[in-house]
Amino acid sequence: MEQNSAVEHDTTLEHALDIARKNVKEAQRLLDDALAKRRTGDVDDDRVNQLKTLLDVAAEDLRRVTREQ
């Protein structure tokens, strides 16, 4: 398993929160990119909808992890 020595977490929940935040940020980035590409016809509505669902799931996971803190 890969470890990043620059980032240290005191607890597993802190690590989970860090990962959940990164997942939301990445899902939003992917969605924003797809929305821009949809305007040019490079991405279809199905892909945009998949990425909206991904963002919803990531945001729900972040809420769950935040509640567990």
pLDDT digits (tens, 9 = 90+) for 11-30: 898 999 999 999 999 999 99
- Pair 23, 17: CB distance under 8 Å: no
Least confident of 5-14, 20-29, 60-69: 5-14
Q: pLDDT digit string (tens) for 35-58?
A: 999 999 999 999 999 999 999 999
CA angle 49, 55, 41 (to 5 degrees): 35
SS3 of 33, please?
Answer: helix
Query: What are the residue boundaries of the structural domains of the chain, listed by start?
Result: 12-68
Q: pLDDT band for 69, please (50, 70, 90 cuts).
A: confident
Q: Which residue has the higher pLDDT, 57 or 8?
A: 57
Q: Which residue has the higher pLDDT, 4 or 21?
A: 21
